Structure 1
């Protein structure tokens, strides 16, 4: 939202007032914050203090490297919920200091400081490294303010705010060449400078500026990030109102954000995850292939069994089979009752599929709505489990499901009922839940059971409540680290309830690129696990798109075949083509590759859960923050810290990608290349650019699935250790299938590997790039 018309004028229909002075600077009694009183005009005489607005600014030390800033106009405004669940694992130690010098008043929180200019008439708040080596950003002249819309001509109009919108905003400085990233799963340009972004969950697919997963956190290439502490609608003008500033505005009396200093982007993410929660740990088996019925396709027990038998016959192990919407009766979504016409014995069916080693786990689709055609609607409405309008009616509309209502998760009894419905699915043999929808949450004319919550703030926050409830039921049934969701909507903190997927994409090269940008972007909000619909959701992918997407999708942390109105089993994509490079062969190749990578991949994932990092897709900038090019790479990604992957977007196989500084080795043929620099290659369907970083000790497991053991196999029993241009001291952590650290492989002085006996068992082969060293 723009408050100005160019540089000099206020925007039409808006009154804008800026904090002009810092009239007083006061230290809070506990020594952890300073409070600024900021009039909206310069104060030169006593008479100047009359008939004007003031803004109060609280700057508070949170923990090492983190300082919060809150701007408030009318402090008497109620603080309505819901609020983000911050510091879920407890508050870190904080030892702040406040000092005064000729440069002004400085509050320090470990490595990060904020300095307020000593001159009352100079509005200047600078955020910088405490050691003075790095300037991060500043709030300068006319960078903090309030606005009314429509414009007011008389201050008395503020007597009644019902017909006025009131905004608070800040404008932080953007440095020359600075780039901005994150803000959840966004499918547009990776660098957000020049964009207007609304942090507001919408069901908009992957090809617009709308997003399913809006996270109010952005990361700067200058070594800091900002978390905006409100689930309310946030409007960001990122170098788009003033080219040199990032404007954050909310329709509220308050705006609070946390500035997080790394200095590396990995450290920024770790501190952000302390603030909003660590990403949840997912089990190793969940990294295997998920196969879906797809959305509107016709299927029953015979169809499902046939698909799984064919996959087994073609040596493509399926870890999880997913039943999408039509396991339920039409118009009854979501009342948790299997359609008996197509699934007369759901518990028996699931048991038969598992006992035949056709699949290891079962997933079903759900959403938080109830269609009025189901008798469950009348029951839930009578009990008060559904959201109501202000006049007491159940809130309903016909978008998606006829006359559907929305489960009111602010009602504890509704939560218990919903949990009981989920438990009935687990009793049948369901192991995972796809938590679809949850974006279109109404804000006007509705009344939640908890009257203390603001409907506007509930819109984004509903995603947190919804996924938390389902995730915790899975934890209670299957164990703390065995719970797995497939969620579409999210907000800040939802990374605690993994995992999520990218939503409704088309079956095109452009949509493949959109999905990659979405995965990269949400990874910069501490979501360790992410997936997408392989082949695209909408439409029928031509075989070449399907195969290129398979190569990408099996290098994501989680991999699912899912579509809208057509099946995604490979033999139906290419009419069961048996020539070299057919869909079945390509899918088998990349499922086997991912399974072999599990010792490395799960070790990287375990570290990511602990540190708040993405596993894959991991933006190259996280590993190479000092490489300016890395901050613009949105067609490639890191799989953990050591493997770089570049998806192919053409049928012919030509691809351009960038290797950062260092020596890189092709995973496929051992040929080496030197970075930094751009490369062009051509790939068939069974490969893509996959390069291993120098200094990598890569542990690979077995290639073939044995009798349905899946991806949670014991990879410590034997495999291969590859050494890529290693030197003394290079190492790799080895974890078991539960994620427990069992040892470390370290390169010794003579180039040998130490720690093998402690970490590995069975038969292992060794491979060194120094023996081949096929330089290109």
Structure 2
């Protein structure tokens, strides 16, 4: 939100109060509180009729410094608040030297000089300023509509670029953008987002840091827009709280941020295989489903998960969690038959209860639905006729909802697509008294947690996975998330990737998208190019809206592309699941922007049409029918995984690829473990294991995970000086292994 009119003036009706002068500082062992006047105090009388801002500086975790700025502290704090599972108070230390007060935590400190004009200066371990909140950087505003806004500004250094803030489809680098944290069902082609995460990653030639605004409601960002040298964020409240997260590298920032807000669970290995769905509004029954599964088997396209979208339930009755008997008269038998074929099963759900559903009356009688202030149940007809909203702030409603889903698990369902969760009203009253504005974004967290907790209880840790559309900070704990409703075009394919890379820089380790696009029907070229991209993503799902996404609908070549890239992904599972385990333990995502692995390469910082899949594979999807693709390789000798071609970086490259290929390069010095079983993602990775050694791999330790993310085997690969071939010097835990020079 903009408050100023250019550099000199305020907008009509806006009154500003800026922290100007320190009047007092109270110091404890691990925190300090500063009191800042909103004007220069020349004499005692100036303290009258003038506001005083309270600024608390504290350390919620190692390498993280929190700042809470409050105007009037008497406002009731209704919640919700972001949960911080990694909070570790007491990790900071305060030092006072004359008029200077410094709070340190790990490699980060914040300094305040009582004798100087107001400024909070955040510094790294070497004393270099990371960012600062100086003149006009700590403030509150009254606007013409009578609203009260708290705002903070943090300086942007020369060359500093800002990323993240959730899954956003606008330009990858956020500088110059206005971004509002407000959940919306806006598709992938606008500034709206399904996953709003008030965490930004900042990268510059001097290093990296992060900023997490701990406010679950609407946060309005001006990123080098209202004031071009500042990132401003504001909330309509009496206080604003933010955390500065230390680097020095982007990976270090993500490690610390996810340690604080929660690391992603490790999805089961089977979930990395190919998912096929009924699509949304298409006609389907068990015969249709069987024909799809048979068609995949007949064409030797490995399939891991079958998903039933909305119309597995009866029309006008979503969600009642009951199979439509006219379409699926024997759901238990059908599920058993799918299981006999080695498939897992996913079903679509959402948190809305349509009035025609028998569950509406049941939930209404128990008080499990969100109400208006006058006691009426909140309802509307958008999406489902007369639908209401489950109140997940009510523990009994949560238990009731889980009980309905458990019936499906008992029938044989393995996981859920937790759709929606964005269209949450603010003119309501919540069971626990939560602030409706703060609950609008946070609702999705409660929704996904209720479902994920049920899966962990019933299926066990390591066997739980969602396919979720909406999220906010902390939602990375409940993977997997997919990119929402995109069009069936090359442009939408590119914007989907951009959104996924943005989400990965917001702490999310796993991400997927609808192969071929959701809206409309892709032409064969779009579908085939999207297949290669989708099967070299964290998770891979064929899904559409009003048309099927079975590969044979798009020709024989599409079948071949689907088969070859599915089998390739399965062979890569010893590598991919190791990277997945890294995402689980460190917060570094599986599918990552180039800047995470190459932060010192200025060219890498703006790349949004390519990515690293784990630490050692560069993927550049092809966004054209003719196969022309432009991409960048960082320094070193990179080797194409499929052809063995070697290219030298740093360099931009232009290549032309058929539908059976794309730029897929192995990082210099890497050794890539590949399994022999191409038929499934959760097979025996050690039998027939091959270690692909790049030409300059000299002494590399390779770890092969087990199906639980532990270590199944380790190998040390060295280069034979005489012959120049790579060999295994030692190995632990595995059987015979083949080393092949790539």
TM-score (norm 2): 0.97
Residues 19, 40 of structure 1: 8 Å contact kept? yes
Matched with 1:305 is: 290
DSSP 3-state at the match of 1:182: strand
Deviation, structure 1 residue 745? 2.0
Match of 1:565 among 536, 546, 551: 546
Report whether the alignment pairs 1:765 with 2:735.
no
Size of the alignment, in residue pairs? 735
Residues 58, 92 of structure 2: 8 Å contact kept? no
| 1:416-460 C-alpha deviation (Å, 9 max, x unpaired) | 11011000100111001000000010012x111112x11111111
Deviation, structure 1 residue 704? 3.1
Structure 1 Cα separation of the partners of residues 142 and 89 of structure 2: 39
Structure 1 Cα separation of the partners of residues 58 and 90 of structure 2: 14
Report whether the alignment pairs 1:643 with 2:626.
no
DSSP 3-state at the match of 1:716: coil
Match of 2:160 among 178, 185, 190: 178
Which segments of structure 1 move beyond 6 Å, counting only runs of 4 or more? none
Deviation, structure 1 residue 639? 0.4
Structure 1 Cα separation of the partners of residues 152 and 89 of structure 2: 27
Matched with 2:139 is: 145
| 1:47-84 C-alpha deviation (Å, 9 max, x unpaired) | 11111111111111333321111110001112221111
Structure 1 Cα separation of the partners of residues 46 and 458 of structure 2: 65
Matched with 1:18 is: 18
Match of 2:716 among 743, 746, 756: 746
Residues 509, 545 of structure 1: 8 Å contact kept? yes
DSSP 3-state at the match of 1:381: helix
Matched with 1:774 is: none
After superposition, residues 58-137 of structure 1 pair within 5 angstroms as 58-86=56-84, 88-89=85-86, 91=88, 94-100=91-97, 104-120=100-116, 122-132=117-127, 134-137=128-131
Structure 2 Cα separation of the partners of residues 633 and 562 of structure 1: 27
Deviation, structure 1 residue 694? 0.9
Structure 1 Cα separation of the partners of residues 90 and 291 of structure 2: 57
Residues 696, 732 of structure 1: 8 Å contact kept? no
Match of 1:696 among 650, 663, 670: 670
Deviation, structure 1 residue 140? 1.2
Structure 2 Cα separation of the partners of residues 517 and 90 of structure 1: 31
Deviation, structure 1 residue 119? 2.1
Deviation, structure 1 residue 93? 6.5
Residues 86, 261 of structure 2: 8 Å contact kept? no
Matched with 1:720 is: 690
Structure 1 Cα separation of the partners of residues 637 and 22 of structure 2: 53
Matched with 2:384 is: 401
Structure 1 pair 238/442, CA: closer, same or farther in 2 (3 Å)?
Answer: same
Matched with 2:570 is: 595
Residues 316, 587 of structure 1: 8 Å contact kept? yes
Matched with 1:659 is: 633
Residues 3, 11 of structure 2: 8 Å contact kept? yes
Report whether the alignment pairs 1:217 with 2:199.
yes
Matched with 1:537 is: 518
Matched with 1:156 is: none
Matched with 1:772 is: none
Matched with 1:732 is: 702
Matched with 1:158 is: none
TM-score (norm 1): 0.93
Match of 1:489 among 445, 467, 470: 470
After superposition, residues 185-334 of structure 1 pair within 5 angstroms as 185-222=167-204, 223-334=208-319
Deviation, structure 1 residue 675? 1.1
Structure 1 Cα separation of the partners of residues 629 and 198 of structure 2: 34
Matched with 2:338 is: 353
DSSP 3-state at the match of 1:23: strand
Residues 185, 422 of structure 2: 8 Å contact kept? yes
DSSP 3-state at the match of 2:631: strand
Residues 108, 114 of structure 1: 8 Å contact kept? yes
Structure 1 pair 459/493, CA: closer, same or farther in 2 (3 Å)?
Answer: same
| 1:524-552 C-alpha deviation (Å, 9 max, x unpaired) | 12211110000000000000000000110
Deviation, structure 1 residue 747? 2.8
Structure 2 Cα separation of the partners of residues 561 and 229 of structure 1: 36
Structure 2 Cα separation of the partners of residues 25 and 571 of structure 1: 71
- Where do 5+ consecutive residues of structure 1 fail to align? 151-162, 770-776
Residues 273, 526 of structure 1: 8 Å contact kept? yes
Task: State the superposition RMSD in angstroms.
Answer: 1.4
- Where do 5+ consecutive residues of structure 2 fail to align? none
Match of 1:448 among 430, 439, 459: 430
Structure 2 Cα separation of the partners of residues 596 and 458 of structure 1: 43
Matched with 1:344 is: 329
Structure 2 Cα separation of the partners of residues 258 and 277 of structure 1: 15
Structure 1 pair 759/680, CA: closer, same or farther in 2 (3 Å)?
Answer: farther
